[in-house]
Amino acid sequence: MNDTENLKGKVADAISVLTVKFKVTPEEQAKLKEPTIEIYERRSRYRYDTNRLQLNATPEDLWPLVIGEEVAHYIHFGINPHIFTVKPEEATTVFDFLPRVFSVEMIGRYGGLVYASVKGLCEFPFKKSHRYTENPDDTLDHLGHELGYQRAYKVFELHGDEHLPKLARMNAREVIDFSRKVAPISLYERKIMPLFNRT
């Protein structure tokens, strides 16, 4: 079996598991177009603009967490194509860009964690990454990934796959607000926000 066939098999498995976990409806399933899968020499990613899963064939990128995350992006954009009402490259302010990157990366990593747990990998300590810092122009993208990943680990730790279908259908602002309530990280979110939310 060559590398491309191996990737296609892993992607097909992740799609079959995650469409169930995202609770993809028959109507949504009909709109999902099969992605093009290609071996990519840089970090694995899903290109929503061309519907391409570009996966690095190195062993660490074939880990279920990575494959699951990229497939989760594919499903997320398929069922919620308006998550980027402003495309990242068209954003004019940090307030346009950062919430969308945060929400997309949070849901992608959340899906990756769900898939990896289904495959029997259950320990996922959150570690800050430095893989984006070599390019100063990527600072906001890096920050969006880090914040999104951190929240995904917390949501998964506290709730397993329970909130994945709901979060995947929200807009960026709703993702931020909801995930802060169900998976508070900071002292402010844990102690102060609940005081304001009392009715």
Q: What is the pLDDT of residues 103-156, one digit of tens each?
A: 999 999 999 999 999 998 866 555 555 454 455 556 777 788 888 999 999 999
Find out whether 82 and 118 touch, Cβ atoms under 8 Å: no
**What's the rounded mean pLDDT across residues 97-102?**
82
The residue among 143 and 55 whose pLDDT is bigger is 55
The residue among 47 and 188 whose pLDDT is bigger is 47
**Average pLDDT value for the chain:** 83
Range of the domain at 124: 3-196
**What's the rounded mean pLDDT across residues 84-93?**
56
Alpha helices by DSSP H, listed for 63-126, are 64-79, 94-118
Burial of 198 (0-12, 13-18, 19+ CB in 10 A): exposed
Collapsing DSSP to helix, strand or coil, 47 comes out as strand
Domains: count for the chain: 1
Residue 30 confidence (pLDDT) above 90: yes
Question: What digits encode the pLDDT tens for the residues 59-77?
Answer: 665 789 999 999 999 999 9
- For 32, which DSSP code? P
